[in-house]
Amino acid sequence: EVDIENVKFTNTDRVCIRTHYANDINIRNCDFRNIGMAIHLRYTCRAKVLGNTVIDASLHGIEFWGNLRPNNVWSKTKCNDLIFANNYVKNGGAGAIWGAGAKRVIMSGNIIDGAKDVGLDPEYCEDVVITGNITRNCYNAGIALFFACKRVTITGNTVYNNSVPKNKDESALFTMAQRKLTKEEKKLPWYVRSGIWLVPPNRESYPLDDGHEDITIVGNTIYTVSDDNIPRRDIWIGAESKNVRIESNTLSGHGVYYGGHHMVNPQNLIKLGEQPLMIDNMPTPDKPKF
């Protein structure tokens, strides 16, 4: 077992703490300011990242990575039993707290204030709980799921959907979030800007991506601002998501939408009705042929 506690990192453009095939790691009460990335857990199990402060990360804030891609297929989850709790991340690069390829992940009690892509973001993960967090100033989504996540509970979070891109930023993952929008671009219907976003399948990166499954979105508060005429949504559920329950969320009038496929302009998003909602692989008119 390894404990890293009360260490301060400042003014470095590198990863400050990186683990590789490590187990039983505790990172507590460390301070990271003006850095490349605070923490990168790679192929790591039984790790706790607790009570850390991250301010001004150029790449990402806190990242875990357990994905292996033999033959260009995401087929491994080499991280498990990860806890990210009570961390404060301000201006956390593209992803404030995020990662891919893990089983049994908890994200709880974190405060996220600024991300150039997404705030809290499990990708290709199973058995995840995201609860009691606060996110704001995240370009594309406060909470997002990518690449066929399964059995995820999102509950009791407060998401403030308010970020407006300003100057060009090369670390942002989505080109439309890298600079101030033109008048024409503000009208594009596919622009993300969601409080909670379940991303549609991306079979270019992951041919076996068949959508998210067994997702609970209950009891969250999502406030979506209406400034700058940028299209925004409280919740956007990507096409091919299965067994998604949406219930008892407090929304701000920007609705729950379903649909959209990777590399297809989702002009045919379906605005759903009142909660409770159960979504189970609803058809959409714009599904591409593979």
Residues 127-172 pLDDT 10s:
999 999 999 999 889 999 999 999 999 999 999 998 876 555 443 4
Contact (Cβ atoms closer than 8 angstroms) between residue 211 and residue 179: no
| pLDDT at position 260 | 79
| pLDDT at position 226 | 82
Rounded CA separation 200/252 (Å): 23
| pLDDT at position 277 | 95
Characterize 99-133 residue by residue with b for buried, 16 or more Cβ atoms within 10 angstroms of its Cβ, and e for exposed: bbbbbbbbbbebbbbbbbbbbbbbbbbbbbbbbeb
| pLDDT at position 174 | 45
Amino acid found at 30: C
Q: E strands within 43-94?
A: 45-50, 53-65, 79-85, 88-92
| pLDDT at position 290 | 45
CA distances from 268 to 96, 190, 245, 249 (A): 31, 10, 22, 24
Residues of the chain with pLDDT below 70 are 69-75, 165-191, 227-229, 261-268, 284-290
| pLDDT at position 7 | 98
| pLDDT at position 171 | 38
**Kind of pairing between the strands at 270-271 and 256-258:** antiparallel
| pLDDT at position 106 | 99
| pLDDT at position 227 | 62
> Nearest to residue 155, comparing CAs of 196, 95, 194, 211?
196
Contact (Cβ atoms closer than 8 angstroms) between residue 94 and residue 115: yes
CATH number of 2-279: 2.160.20
Q: E strands within 139-260?
A: 141-145, 150-155, 158-161, 194-198, 213-218, 221-224, 233-237, 242-247, 256-258
